[in-house]
Amino acid sequence: MKIVKVNNNEKEISFLIDIENPEWSKMQEKAFKNLAKNLKIPGGFRPGTPAHTEKAKGFVSQGEIIERAVNMQVHNINRFLIAEKQFLELEDSLLNEKPTLNVDSVDEKKLSLSFVFKKIPTVKIGDYKKISFKADKEITEKEINDEKQKYLNRNSELVPKENKKIEKGDFVIFDFEGLIDNEKMEKGSSKNYELEIGSNQFIPGFEEKMIGIKLGEEKKLDLKFPKDYHEKKVAGKDVVFNVKINDIKHKKSAKYDDDFVKSLKIDNVSTTKEFDTFLKTKMEKEKKDRVEKDLKVKLFKEIADMSELSHEDNFSVEQEARTIESEYKNMLSASKIDIDTFLKFSNQDKDTFYNDIKKQAVDNVKIKYAIIEISEKENIAVSDKEFDSYLEDISKSEGMKLEDLKKLPEETLEILREKLVFSKTINFLIENATK
């Protein structure tokens, strides 16, 4: 067995291997015996006996023998190949996927076959240092006060209104009856219905016309159902709602004091001063995380748009597409929705859905190669101290002992180190884009 030729181009590398006699003869002989042992031959020949083996020659074709010989020896041929110096010199440029096996020529004296390996694509990247974003991570006083008011509103109570007149934001208890062409609507009436004015629960114009009506007052509201209303029977039709106001209430916010803060039961927060500090810190972190997530999405789009692969990595694209699809299905499963229901509500067909996944997978693979290329160009590396800190974070989040994590196989630790380099490169690009 020997490598007789190596063809190396931009997309793939093929190794042409010749197997000649006597090695090829031995492989054929082994293959014949493998085929013959399971043959049932008329005449009472017992499998495994010399007579049975001799008789089997008339029942097994040369083509079957050659096919079985190749199939039986694929693993051994592959093992021979990856131990050869010519393969080892090119190994780093190959994709981590099974090679394609082609039989180039074969007869009883010699087998010539080639193993074809896909190469890792090269990537051409635009001027990534010119990527620029605005990143507003500051929290304003107004944002803090608005968030504080939400805490107070969540702990508010409904109290009767003093001026007895409906305003936006009020909670109204009322009776209503809907009429179309002077006939009562099916399911168009209710008693003591509670409605927050401004919540847009009713058709357009209903809640606006409620504003200004007084407690105990009865009034007719002349309205029209939208043309695209979900109930087709009434879509686009004129309607009259007769309403009677039974009660009007409004929210009375909780008083912002130490007692209110204590009622929230937040660890180590019991005064308004401590709550102000807690709220600002919490909002700053949330906004920072939100902005960074948004910046990452924008960055990836820019990188994908300005990068071009020498050829498509179909193996990685297929893997990435399966990952994206799995994430979709897990997300929908958590909401107890199947994929068909999701497609129906999102007004998509399956072809469009899976084509979009394929496009996203292609972009994700392109981004991966581009980020790796940038990390090499910028000499971005991970120090032992950084890696130890990274492993410590993983051990805490996964509930593992740090010592056990460090005992993982070297290949696994190398993958984790590569992930950290990838993350550092993204941070480098974001920092550069937001200067």
Q: How high is the pLDDT of residue 126?
A: 93
**Which of 88, 118, 148 marks a domain boundary?**
118
Give residue 227's pLDDT band: very low, low, confident or very high (50, 70, 90).
Answer: very high
Is 257 a member of any domain?
Answer: no
Is the same domain home to 395 and 277? yes
Q: Residue 180's pLDDT band (boundaries 50, 70, 90)?
A: very high
The answer to whether residues 301 and 359 touch, using CB atoms and an 8 Å cutoff, is no
User: Is 130 within the bounds of a domain?
Assistant: no
* Measured distance CA(47)–CA(108) in Å, rounded: 25
Q: Rounded to a whole number, what is the largest CA-CA distance in the chain?
A: 112
Amino acid at 211: I
Say yes or no: 360 and 415 in one domain. Answer: yes
Give 251-263 as a DSSP string: EEPPP-SHHHHHH
Q: What is the pTM of this model?
A: 0.67
Residue 432 class from Cβ within 10 Å (0-12 exposed, 13-18 middle, 19+ buried)? middle
pLDDT above 80 for 8: yes
Q: Which of 31-35, 215-219, 362-366 is least confident?
A: 31-35
As a whole number, mean pLDDT of residues 283-312 equals 92
* Same structural domain, 299 and 385: yes
- Confidence at residue 304, expressed as pLDDT on a 0 to 100 scale: 94
Flag whether pLDDT at 137 surpasses 90: no
At 293, the pLDDT band (50, 70, 90 cuts) reads very high
Instruction: Give the pair of three-digit tokens for residue 276.
Output: 């102000």
- Proportion of the chain above pLDDT 70, given as a percent: 98
Q: Is 141 inside a domain boundary?
A: no
Number of domains in the chain: 3
Mean pLDDT of the chain: 90
The CATH number of the domain holding residue 287 is 1.10.3120.10
Q: Does 10 share its domain with 109?
A: yes
Which amino acid, one-letter code, is at 7? N
* Residue 166 · residue 248 · CB < 8 Å: yes
Residue range 29-55: average pLDDT?
75
Residue 131 within a domain: no
Query: Do 227 and 352 reside in the same domain of the chain?
Result: no
Residues 347 and 277 in one domain: yes
Q: Out of 93, 118, 143, pick the residue that ends a domain.
A: 118
Give, as one character, the DSSP assignment of residue 97. Answer: S
**C-alpha span between 216 and 161 (Å, rounded):** 13
Q: For 164-195, what is the HEC assignment?
A: CECCCCCEEEEEEEEEECCEEEEEEEEEEEEE
What is residue 348's predicted lDDT score, i.e. its pLDDT? 83
The DSSP bridge pattern shows strands 12-20 and 110-118 to be: antiparallel
**DSSP conformation class of 200:** -
Which domain, by its residues, includes 203? 157-252
Q: Are residues 282 and 387 in the same domain?
A: yes
Residue found under tokens 């007149």:
165
Helices (H) and strands (E) in the chain, counts: 14, 11
Average pLDDT over residues 99-108: 87
- Strand extents, DSSP E, 21-109: 100-106
Assess whether 389 and 300 both reside in one domain: yes
From 44-48, 76-80, 259-263, 323-327, the region with the lowest mean pLDDT: 44-48
Residue 156, amino acid:
S
Shared domain check, 283 and 240 = no
CATH code of 220's domain: 3.10.50.40
What's residue 31's pLDDT?
87
- Distance set, CA 281 to CA 142, 184, 263, 276, 330 (Å): 15, 56, 20, 9, 32
The mean per-residue pLDDT over the stretch 376-402 comes to 92
Note the pLDDT tens digit of each residue in 319-371.
999 999 999 889 888 888 888 888 888 888 889 999 999 999 999 999 999 99
Check residue 359 and give its pLDDT: 94
Q: Both 11 and 91 in a single domain?
A: yes
Which of these three, 118, 138, 170, is where a domain ends?
118
Same domain? For 172 and 313 the reply is no
**Which DSSP helix (H) or strand (E) runs through 314?**
helix 314-334
* Cβ 395 vs Cβ 345: under 8 Å: no
Range with lowest mean pLDDT among 28-32, 201-205, 274-278? 28-32
For residue 258, is it within any domain?
Answer: no
pLDDT, residue 106, reads 87
Domain presence at residue 169 = yes
User: Is 85 part of a structural domain of the chain?
Assistant: yes
Tell me, what's the pLDDT at 305? 94
* pLDDT value of position 43: 65
Residue 267 within any structural domain of the chain: no
Residue 282 and residue 398 in one domain: yes
